[in-house]
Amino acid sequence: MAISVGDAVPSVALKHLTDNGMQELNTGDFFKGKKVVVFSVPGAFTPTCSAKHLPGFVQQAEALKAKGVQEIVCLAVNDPFVMRAWGEKNGVEGKVFMLPDGNAAFTEALGLTMDGSGYGLGKRGQRFVLVAENGKVTHLAVEEPGKFEVSSAEAVLETL
């Protein structure tokens, strides 16, 4: 069952790559005490994700932060190395935090996985956007398969 508005963001340990090497991040701790926008993409370097989804949040980072958002997070079922490289290629520094979910543990806990095996992708995250305040979901919009409408940075700005 998918997470819903009013639910607590699940606490899952994830690995991410920093300048000091591989670090662990606990999602329960990460979401505490702040307003966070998480947008999930099916995969780094994939067409819509690279041409529209991530760039939109990079371009709108200041506008989102002006609405009280403290963290903008790009979530993908990819490994930490790929997420870091994709972030560097897209100039996310100081704008979007790249959160790899290599084993889909967090995405599964959210109940928002999809089967991308028909495209050779295996288990992935659905395309969605989630807003959480102090660890509670206040907004959730999940895209229909193949669509990019409700999870864009512009759509999030309209809801804040």
> Does residue 16 contact residue 75 with C-beta atoms inside 8 Å?
no
- Domain contains 4: no
Q: What is the DSSP letter of 93?
A: T
Q: Which residues of 44-67 are buried (b: 16+ CB within 10 A; e: fewer)?
A: bebebbbeebbbbbbebbeebeee
Q: Whole domain around residue 155: which residue ranges?
A: 13-159
6-65: pLDDT as tens digits: 999 999 999 988 889 999 999 999 999 999 999 999 988 888 878 889 999 999 999 999
Question: How far, in Å, CA of 136 to CA of 78, rounded?
Answer: 25
92-128: pLDDT as tens digits: 999 999 999 999 999 999 999 877 777 767 678 899 9
- Domain contains 7: no
> In the numeric block, which tokens belong to residue 104?
């889909």
- Domain contains 131: yes
Question: How far, in Å, CA of 128 to CA of 38, rounded?
Answer: 8
Question: How far, in Å, CA of 112 to CA of 5, rounded?
Answer: 14
> In the numeric block, which tokens belong to residue 82?
């790929």
- The pTM for the full model equals 0.93
- Domain contains 5: no
Tell me, yes or no, if 49 is annotated catalytic. Answer: yes
Catalytic residue chosen out of the listed positions 14, 36, 41, 49? 49
Q: What is the DSSP letter of 53?
A: I
Residue length, the chain?
160
Kindly state the average pLDDT of the residues 66-82: 95
Structural domains of the chain, count: 1
Task: Report the CATH number at residue 44.
Answer: 3.40.30.10
Cα dihedral sign for 122, 124, 62, 80?
negative
Kindly state the average pLDDT of the residues 71-86: 95
Question: How far, in Å, CA of 110 to CA of 9, rounded?
Answer: 8
75, pLDDT greater than 90:
yes
Cα dihedral sign for 64, 27, 53, 16?
positive
Which residue, chain included where needed, has tokens 């403290």? 70
